[in-house]
Structure 1
Amino acid sequence: MNTASASVTSTLPLNLWQQFRLVAMRTIYFGVGVVIFVLAGIVAIEGQWLETGALVSVALAFILTGVVYRNELAPQWINFLFICALGTLVSVSMKTSGMMGVYWMYPVLAMVFFMFDRTIFVLVIMLIYALFAAVMYNFLPFDYAWRIALSMLVLIGVGAVFLIMMSYMQRNLSKLYATDPLTGFYRREYVADMMQRELDRAQRQQHPVSAMLLDLDSFKNVNDKFGYMFGDEVLRETASRIARVCRKNDVMVRYGGAEFLVVFPNTSVKEAAELTGQMLDNLRHEPFAVKSMMTTVTASAGVAQWRANQTWGQWLENADAAKDKAKSQGRNRLRIAQ
Structure 2
Amino acid sequence: MNTASVASSLGNLNLWQQFRLVAMRTIYFGVGLVVLVLAGILVAQSRWLEAGALTCVALAFILTGVIYRNELAPQWINFLFICALGILVSVSMTSTGMMGVYWMYPVLAMVFFMFDKTIFVLVIMLIYALFAAVMYKFLPFEYAWRIGLSMLVLIGVGGVFLMMMSYMQRNITKLYATDPLTGFYRRDYVTDMLQQSLQRAERTMQPVSAMMLDLDSFRSVNDKFGYMFGDEVLKETAKRILRYCRHHDVALRSGGAEFLIIFPNTDIKQASILAGDVLDGLRHEPFAIKSMMTTVTASAGVAQWRKGQSWADWLERVDTAKDKAKSEGRNRLRIAQ
Give, in angstroms, the shift of residue 330 of structure 1: 0.8
**Is 2:230 aligned against 1:231?**
yes
Q: Which amino acid aligns with 1:319?
A: V
What is the SS of the residue equivalent to 2:185? coil
**Is 2:211 aligned against 1:212?**
yes
Residue by residue over 1:10-48, the C-alpha shift from the partner in whole angstroms, topping out at 9 and shown as x without a partner, is: 443211111211222233234334444554455556554
- Cross-structure match for 1:165: 164
- Cross-structure match for 2:316: 317
1:1-338 → structure 2 map (5 Å cutoff) = 2-5=2-5, 7-40=6-39, 42-43=41-42, 46=45, 48-63=47-62, 65-67=64-66, 69-190=68-189, 192-203=191-202, 206-338=205-337
Q: TM-score, normalised by structure 1?
A: 0.85
| Range with greater deviation from structure 2 (50-59 or 102-111) | 50-59
Would the alpha carbon gap of residues 241 and 155 (structure 1) be closer, same or farther in structure 2, given more than 3 Å must change? same
Residue by residue over 1:177-204, the C-alpha shift from the partner in whole angstroms, topping out at 9 and shown as x without a partner, is: 2211111112111454454344445445
Q: TM-score, normalised by structure 2?
A: 0.85
Give, in angstroms, the shift of residue 288 of structure 1: 2.9
Q: Which runs of 5+ in 2 are unaligned?
A: none
What is the SS of the residue equivalent to 2:188? helix
CA distance in structure 2 between the partners assigned to 1:315 and 1:51 by the alignment = 62
Alpha-carbon contact 2:321-2:334 (below 8 Å) kept: yes
CA distance in structure 1 between the partners assigned to 2:45 and 2:202 by the alignment = 68
Would the alpha carbon gap of residues 133 and 165 (structure 1) be closer, same or farther in structure 2, given more than 3 Å must change? same
Residue identity (%): 78
Q: Which amino acid aligns with 2:86?
A: G
Residue by residue over 1:250-291, the C-alpha shift from the partner in whole angstroms, topping out at 9 and shown as x without a partner, is: 211112311111122233433322332232223223333444
| Range with greater deviation from structure 2 (54-63 or 168-177) | 54-63
CA distance in structure 1 between the partners assigned to 2:68 and 2:264 by the alignment = 40
Residue by residue over 1:295-319, the C-alpha shift from the partner in whole angstroms, topping out at 9 and shown as x without a partner, is: 3221111122334454444433332
CA distance in structure 1 between the partners assigned to 2:61 and 2:306 by the alignment = 52
Q: Which amino acid aligns with 1:272?
A: A
CA distance in structure 1 between the partners assigned to 2:147 and 2:242 by the alignment = 55
Q: Which runs of 5+ in 1 are unaligned?
A: none
| Range with greater deviation from structure 2 (85-94 or 291-300) | 291-300
Would the alpha carbon gap of residues 334 and 65 (structure 1) be closer, same or farther in structure 2, given more than 3 Å must change? closer
Q: Which amino acid aligns with 1:271?
A: Q
Residue by residue over 1:60-85, the C-alpha shift from the partner in whole angstroms, topping out at 9 and shown as x without a partner, is: 54445445544433443443343233
| Range with greater deviation from structure 2 (68-77 or 131-140) | 68-77
Residue by residue over 1:186-242, the C-alpha shift from the partner in whole angstroms, topping out at 9 and shown as x without a partner, is: 211145445434444544555443211111112222233333333222222211221
Q: Which amino acid aligns with 1:254?
A: R
Alpha-carbon contact 1:12-1:178 (below 8 Å) kept: no
Alpha-carbon contact 2:208-2:267 (below 8 Å) kept: yes
Alpha-carbon contact 2:10-2:193 (below 8 Å) kept: no
Residue by residue over 1:126-148, the C-alpha shift from the partner in whole angstroms, topping out at 9 and shown as x without a partner, is: 33223223322332234443443
What is the SS of the residue equivalent to 1:255? strand
Alpha-carbon contact 1:9-1:171 (below 8 Å) kept: no
CA distance in structure 1 between the partners assigned to 2:47 and 2:313 by the alignment = 71
CA distance in structure 1 between the partners assigned to 2:208 and 2:309 by the alignment = 12
CA distance in structure 1 between the partners assigned to 2:126 and 2:65 by the alignment = 24
Aligned length: 337
CA distance in structure 2 between the partners assigned to 1:53 and 1:229 by the alignment = 72
CA distance in structure 2 between the partners assigned to 1:83 and 1:266 by the alignment = 43
| Range with greater deviation from structure 2 (239-248 or 313-322) | 313-322
Alpha-carbon contact 1:4-1:175 (below 8 Å) kept: no
CA distance in structure 1 between the partners assigned to 2:69 and 2:263 by the alignment = 42
What is the SS of the residue equivalent to 2:102? helix
Give the alignment's Cα RMSD to 1 decimal: 3.0
